[in-house]
Amino acid sequence: KAAEASLCASEQGRFWEMHDLMFEDQSGLSVEALTKKAESLDLDGPAFETCLTSNKYAEQVKQDVMDGTVVGVTGTPAVFVNGRPLVGNVPYDRLVEIIDDELKALSTSTP
């Protein structure tokens, strides 16, 4: 439901604000808690609640999960650098190292 809530908040232009609230309080992701988060963002409450309880985005979220599973995503966050999966909280230095490796490989493979 959290993923659906982010999309419902996105309808009102508040995706990232909802995202941030959910990550700050990951134990509060029930429909009731998500509705309270929407209220704290001054979203149109009835529109948000209708969106969330109608399962409007349920199929999209299911498809996203299935697509991720197919390519090897086992958790979030997940990032791919030239097809190399990085799942979980990858330290910045490690991400820079991988990108540098990919750039180096690219520069040595082009004439």
**Residue 110 CB coordination number (10 Å):** 6
pLDDT at 18 > cutoff 90: yes
User: For residue 107, what pLDDT is reported?
Assistant: 83
What's CA 57's distance to the chain center, in Å? 14
Q: Give the residue with greater pLDDT, 48 vs 106.
A: 48
Pairing of strands 84-87, 78-81: antiparallel
User: For residue 110, what pLDDT is reported?
Assistant: 59
Least confident range of 8-22, 52-66, 80-94:
80-94
**Residue 18 CB coordination number (10 Å):** 24
Q: Which has the closest alpha carbon to 14: 32, 41, 39, 34?
A: 41
52 three-state secondary structure: helix
For the chain, list the strands marked E by DSSP. 78-81, 84-87
User: For residue 83, what pLDDT is reported?
Assistant: 86
**Residues 64-82 pLDDT 10s:** 999 999 988 888 888 899 8
Q: How confident is the model at residue 111 (pLDDT cuts 50, 70, 90)?
A: low
Percent helix / strand / coil, the chain, rounded to 5:
60, 5, 30
Q: How confident is the model at residue 89 (pLDDT cuts 50, 70, 90)?
A: confident
Residues 6+ apart with CB under 8 A from 53: 31
Rounded mean pLDDT, 14-30: 95
